[in-house]
Amino acid sequence: MRDDLGADVPLTGPPKRIVSLVPSLTEALAVDHCEQLVGVTDWCTHPADLDVARIRGTKNPNVAAIVELQPDLVIANKEENRELDVLRLREAGVSVWVTDIETLDQSFTSMRRLWSEGLGAPIPEWLVEAESIWAEPSRLSSARVACCVWRDPWMVVGRDTFTGSMLSALGLNHVLSGSEGRYPAIDIAELDSMCLDVVLLPDEPYVFTAEDGPEAFASTPTALCSGRALTWFGPSMIEARGHLEKVLSEALALR
């Protein structure tokens, strides 16, 4: 059995004890594998009532605490988690399944493999529904958009990202999809001069608000949105499309 990166995952059967290092996959696992979850990160906020051990953050998990939980499987992500932590867990004899998701299509393929091969479980209904929703034709025009993820320094979504793939699936022209980096820093004046139709300002990882973000743009319309809708793969994808289309439609109508 191999994960998305081709690494061996030594499992003798469906895992009974799972640690998730990926907030969006924690939410997904909690739908139909909640009893198997024994540990998650401090950033795993959905579902809010999840009562399991917390093992610090995605970038600094407590490896010793994870080993003490004696998981059959730890689930990680290439972008969310550090290779060093994955290696340390494997050296401690823990099986780790690393997902690699940079596009919308990859998210569906990766989660299908994780459920069918890694968990030895049926494909969940929420995943089938999410695939159906995102397969629908685009309802938006090819508006020129960018998406910020941080400020001071200002950083934007660039090439080869799940978020960028979602924007393209919505029929938008993600103008920074050809950037050299995946989340490049950018001068705010340069961004404001790109003749964009709208700049998205999500509430994570940086918490943009009505008072913190829009005021930096002198000429470009902005739209606040859910960061979870833009960056989480899992059950949230069912509602994400409707939320993003509503936010963008309203912003574009005000141009």
pLDDT, residue 212, reads 98
Instruction: Encode pLDDT of 35-80 as tens digits.
Output: 999 999 999 999 999 999 999 999 999 999 999 999 999 999 999 9
Instruction: Encode pLDDT of 114-160 as tens digits.
Output: 999 999 999 999 999 999 999 999 888 889 999 999 999 999 999 99
Instruction: Encode pLDDT of 165-206 as tens digits.
Output: 999 999 999 999 999 899 999 999 999 999 999 999 999 999
Burial grade of 202 (CB within 10 A; 0-12, 13-18, 19 or more): buried
Instruction: Encode pLDDT of 1-33 as tens digits.
Output: 999 999 999 998 999 999 999 999 999 999 999
pLDDT of residue 108 exceeding 90, the answer is yes
Rounded CA separation 12/249 (Å): 49
- Copy the structure tokens of residue 118: 């890694």
Rounded CA separation 112/32 (Å): 14
Rounded CA separation 243/226 (Å): 8
pTM, 2 dp: 0.93
Among 99, 81, 93, smallest CA distance to 29 is for 99
CA distances to 52, 124, 249 from 121, rounded to whole Å, are 22, 8, 38
Residue 146: beta bridge partners? 199
CA distances to 12, 57, 94, 95, 202 from 15, rounded to whole Å, are 8, 23, 12, 10, 35
Q: State the average pLDDT for the chain.
A: 96
